[in-house]
């Protein structure tokens, strides 16, 4: 087994090194770099482009190059397969390697469309299959008592940041948005009489979230504390307790806030996505049907929501207990 793994590693390295030696310094033209064209084609949030840039950088580093000078238009099927094998050897998850492959295919498509790569060469890359995933969602669902403890911790923290973070947590758990969505909320998109908030979701599409009463109270408290009347709802707060004038929090900022507050409150590790998972689990555990939960979460397919059905395991076990023979 070990010998086979070493042989695969050697083969992947040889393939990549051979390709680098062949293409040499054949960098794409700056005005038609397929990587830049791919970034420009992304219609989602800035977070999507940030992720793509990071992936491009890592792929280029595997070949000792930079993303700007990497000869994307010279990629071929054998080299892409070798890169995928190299990523596997580095311990990247199946999900992450699928992301890398998707971005490579996207860049190759731009190279083909701009006549920098032949149709045949692109077709061979396009036919590389993604890894089939059948794993349960990773993470945990927080109990409502943990959510309450987390929010109370923030409200007892002196300064504007504590009130802001309580409102942020209130929306993440009470409405279930993705962290890339929650940072798009503008104050004029909040309708208290209708108990709704509009966010920009995947595919740059606007969708509406329903606010529970506790979330409404927390958001109103934040607006009163900050004095904000327009612009981004969630903004950075500096060490002098000053709220940024017209600068919104980033998705990374949301992640840092949640993980820091969770640690301060003495809870087990949890991320913003775990709050979204908690939102879905709470809905399903309280009898909401799968279609409603999927719609509230902004899932295009209920199959995606089904991955969060942790409570189904308990139901299955209870059903099994009733089988007597």
Is 308 a known active-site residue? yes
8 Å CB contact between 273 and 195: no
* The one catalytic residue among 38, 100, 282, 308: 308
* The one catalytic residue among 109, 178, 235, 261: 178
* The one catalytic residue among 97, 109, 261, 276: 276
Is 195 a known active-site residue? no
83-111 in b/e form (b: 16+ CB < 10 A) is bbbbbbeeebeeeebbbbbebbbbbbbbb
Dihedral sign computed on CA atoms, order 172, 173, 174, 177: positive
From the list 161, 192, 178, 185, the residue with the least C-alpha distance to 51 is 178
Is 273 a known active-site residue? yes
Is 178 a known active-site residue? yes
Identify each DSSP E strand in the chain by its residue range: 190-191, 196-200, 206-210
Is 97 a known active-site residue? no
Which single residue is written with the structure tokens 């009347």?
229
8 Å CB contact between 64 and 83: no
* The one catalytic residue among 202, 214, 306, 307: 202
Q: How far apart are CA 214 and CA 302, in angstroms?
A: 27
* The one catalytic residue among 105, 153, 235, 299: 299
Is residue 282 classed exposed, middle or buried when 0-12, 13-18 and 19+ CB atoms within 10 A define those classes? buried
Is 88 a known active-site residue? no
* The one catalytic residue among 140, 273, 307, 311: 273
Q: How far apart are CA 111 and CA 72, in angstroms?
A: 8
- Residues designated catalytic: 178, 202, 273, 276, 299, 308
């Amino acid at each position: 087994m070990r010998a086979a793994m070493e042989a695969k590693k050697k083969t992947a390295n040889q393939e990549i090194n051979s390709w680098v030696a062949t293409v040499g310094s054949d960098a794409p033209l700056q005005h038609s770099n397929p990587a830049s064209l791919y970034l420009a084609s992304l219609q989602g949030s800035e977070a999507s482009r940030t992720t793509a840039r990071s992936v491009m950088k890592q792929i280029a580093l595997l070949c000792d190059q930079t993303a700007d000078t990497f000869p994307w238009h010279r990629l071929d099927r054998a080299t892409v397969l070798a890169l995928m094998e190299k990523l596997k050897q580095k311990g990247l998850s199946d999900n992450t390697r699928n992301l890398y492959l998707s971005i490579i295919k996207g860049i190759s498509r731009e190279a083909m469309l701009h006549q920098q790569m032949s149709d045949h060469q692109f077709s061979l890359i396009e036919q590389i299959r993604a890894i089939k995933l059948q794993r349960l969602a990773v993470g945990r669902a927080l109990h409502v008592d943990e959510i309450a403890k987390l929010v109370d911790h923030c409200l007892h923290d002196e300064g504007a940041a504590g009130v802001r973070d309580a409102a942020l947590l209130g929306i993440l758990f009470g409405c279930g948005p993705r962290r890339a969505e929650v940072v798009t909320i503008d104050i004029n998109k909040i309708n208290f009489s209708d108990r709704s908030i509009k966010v920009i979701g995947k595919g740059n599409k606007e969708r509406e979230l329903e606010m529970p009463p506790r979330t409404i109270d927390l958001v109103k408290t934040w607006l009163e504390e900050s004095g904000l009347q327009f612009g981004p709802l969630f903004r950075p707060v500096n060490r002098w307790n000053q709220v940024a004038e017209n600068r919104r929090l980033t998705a990374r900022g949301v992640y840092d806030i949640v993980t820091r507050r969770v640690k301060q409150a003495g809870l087990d590790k949890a991320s913003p996505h775990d709050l979204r998972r908690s939102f879905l689990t709470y809905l399903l555990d309280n009898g909401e049907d799968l279609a409603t939960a999927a719609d509230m979460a902004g899932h295009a397919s209920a199959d995606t929501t089904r991955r969060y059905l942790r409570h189904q395991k308990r139901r299955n076990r209870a059903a099994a207990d009733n089988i007597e023979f």
